[in-house]
Structure 1
Amino acid sequence: MSWMGLLRRTLSSERRAIIVYLINTAMLLLIFNLMMDEVSVVYPLSVSLTILIIYLGVKTYALFRFEDGLAEAKEVADFQEDADHEKDKLVFHAIRAIHTDYLDKLVAMNEKLDGRNSLFSHFIHNMKSSLAVIELASHKRSDEVLADIASENEKLKTNMEQLLNLLRLDEFTNDYVPERADLLEIVQAVINDKRRSFIYSSVYPKVKGQSAYVYTDRKWCSFILDQIVTNAIKYSPQGRSVYFEIVQEEDVGLTSVRVRDEGEGIDPEDLPRVFELFYTGKNGRSHKQATGIGLAMVRHTAKRLGHEVSLTSKLGEGTCVTISFLSKLKAY
């Protein structure tokens, strides 16, 4: 750091104070000489300049400490705050807040990247397994082999769709269109899209409730319901039903849809972790198709939409997932 450059910066920053001081000195000299019989300039001028030099020296040193502290603050987040003036303290506090915010965002970004890498590794592994099965089956020709190929093809399509949805989550703001939508209509559309799965699994959807308007994004809301319904069908025995109930709580401005199955239920030990990524619990060990991804994406998407998701379950009786929507526009 150049001391001459530091002095120039001090003179530049203190120029107004110097001008005021010099004007004040000139006025004092004038008054002093008017009051005295003899004209004297050297002594009062020497005293005045001495005070000015001391003042500039103090200010130069203060600027040196401030710039030295700024240089340290650029390099490390845990810098030593050395400031005497309130303005300098405010600057250092602002820098510390920026550092903290930056580090928080950096940690969140790293966690997001780690999660994404894990997801992609998982999807790629699943797709490689499906391709290996298809390759082996292609050397044989039978109805059973064709069924295996069709099954693996469905797995590939499911994994690709989940990958696309995962990528879309990053562009959520650009792909998010909130609107007033009929929840009953969305539920019926999802059931219609899943009709083949219901038929092939011999599971029957039953809807209770009437039209209820909520504020949401139709596509992403359908995605959430689709994931929940997929799980409900997957874990339901043949001949059972999946119940859809729309409940309106006008006093608190909430509307909810409950999706309840009659499946095997979830072990109480697994309930606190059902929304964790890749967590499949005890049920996942008996179902090879369990990935531990669906409910994690449901929770993440619902949070972005501003909806609440909760889950209750009793072992041997079934599981109920509830999505709560705000039905008043002022919340958005």
Structure 2
Amino acid sequence: MSAGLAALLDDVAVLARAAAASIDDVGLAAAKAGSKAAGVVIDDAAVTPQYVRGLAAERELPIVKRIALGSLRNKFLIILPVILVLSQFLPVLLTPLLMIGGAYLCYEGAEKVWAKIAHHDAHGAGEERQADEKTLVSGAIRTDLILSAEIMVISLNEVADESFVSRLVILVIVAIAMTVLVYGAVGLIVKMDDVGLRLSQLPGAGVARFGRGLVKAMPRVLTFLTVVGTAAMLWVGGHILLVGADELGLHFLYESVHHLEEAAHDATGALGGLVGWLVNTIASAIVGLIVGAVIVAVMSVTFHRSKATAEHTDAGTDEPKAVDPAASDR
């Protein structure tokens, strides 16, 4: 009896060690997969604060929370099921779907650039954003859908050789970790001015001075993040399109950017890695801006034409109808 119990305990110990090793392997794989998507994670964290800029202080964290919950829904209800099924049965569709998302990011970024140039934001846009939180959150969640899809597909590519169950577990870990990381950082960013205000009221002169400096600096930081967020949309969107086109057999643009990156890398010595990355980023953003501008132009023409037609139709229905005198006599 004791020998059988000892054997059972040995088996349990072996299983426990195997499970621990599996957990370690999954954790390492999740960390590796997540690190590959770090660039998009930074972009996501830079994009989101612009959606809460100008809101009342007490509404900032609730809005960030709603966007974070929307991000989790994006990942678990849309992105994970779609990419896992496609990776299992129709992997060829992943790239075109990503490119559609990339084109949407380019459109969003180019639209923001055009709005800034044309001063469309000078007509009470801030008040509208404060008054319509539902629209604000919906726009942020739509943008998050594309950025989250990019994060998850990059992560999926890193664990493509794993079994289906391992891929699922790893991607769930990545989804939760990235959401906490991004929206935790966003929450800290948008509340830093409140932190500065609290510090400025403390008795220590140095702490109070630091708090006042933090309060003064945050508007500039948020303005900077708005610019970075718009640039990130164009960069990530353009990069998705470049890589996707290359994977679909259209190599010219991707190879041209790659050659520019290599030339910049080789010409700048110790700074080659940074300079090469900057060249690739700028080139991707330019591609994104061009594609986005084309989409904005098409949407603008289509929208204005539809709007003009609708207004003309409405005007036609508002015209008074002619009255037949003979009919009135009857």
Bigger share in helix: 2
TM-score by length of 2: 0.25
TM-score by length of 1: 0.25
Larger Rg: 1
Bigger share in strand: 1
